[in-house]
Structure 1
Amino acid sequence: MKTIIIGLFLMVMSAQLLYSQPGANRAPQNFTEAEQEIVDLSKDKWQWMSDKNVDELSKLFHAKAEFVHMGGHWGTEQELGIIKSGGIWYKKADIHEVSVNIIDNTAILLNRIDLLAEVGGNEVTNPFEVTEVYIKQGGIWKLGLLSFTRLMTPGDR
């Protein structure tokens, strides 16, 4: 009897570990049309950041947007300058999870990503939970906040 209970316990724990792995057996998300528009805009933003396309980014970023990084926070002009100069080169964002919540004219998008970036000439990869807040003005979505929260990895503990 004791062996059966231990066996069942191990099976339940194994199943929990399997389903808790990033991306493991997850069904594709079904977004509304408005939510999908935000998801697509976010993907475009990552590509424009990778391409250092400050022309498209300047159209997307609200003039009063805030950007929160591991090393501090600043506004739109400084973020565009950093991207243009290559101070931070957002080379590739591997997106693992996305959620979107739209409240009136505000959209909150959360991404769990692994970001490959070049910072000060050094290539680094970090796991982040990224918060993006978009505000709809005159029928156009503008990015109002981009905030990076570094996630703990097993090696960090």
Structure 2
Amino acid sequence: MTTRTNPLGILSAAHRDRLLEFATEVSFPAGARIFEEGSKADRFWIIHTGSVTLDVHVPGRPATVVDTIGHGELLGWSWLIPPHAWQLGAEAQSPVRALEFDAAAVRTLCEEDPVLGQALTRGVAEVVGNRLLSVRTRLLDRFGP
């Protein structure tokens, strides 16, 4: 688990254990839409196995894949930032097993434990920055001159 892609990697062992109390094992078959751009972001995942493509809606065109994530990576960051709506769509590229977290419960935990909240927010912000760079690069590659 790297801090580049998984905000749990920067948490202390005690904070990580506390957060993992809110985790549930889930799975998605290949081809399953996990979430749609613009829909309510009420959970997030840490991928154990498989891969997920992230896509963006481009008017007049099919959705454009902007990133692929896999083992140990965070799926979903929009749950942390109001208005809590997905900024991208996500689809299981292969069968996926993941830890799923309830966003409202984790936001409450972050309010109750500001040190955990700050560390988790910093980790998610790093993921957001990396994803935005990836989206920009893919869109320029696809639609640039």
Shared fold (TM-score, shorter chain, > 0.5):
no
Structure with larger RCO (C-alpha < 8 A, sep 6+): 2
TM-score range, shorter chain: under 0.3
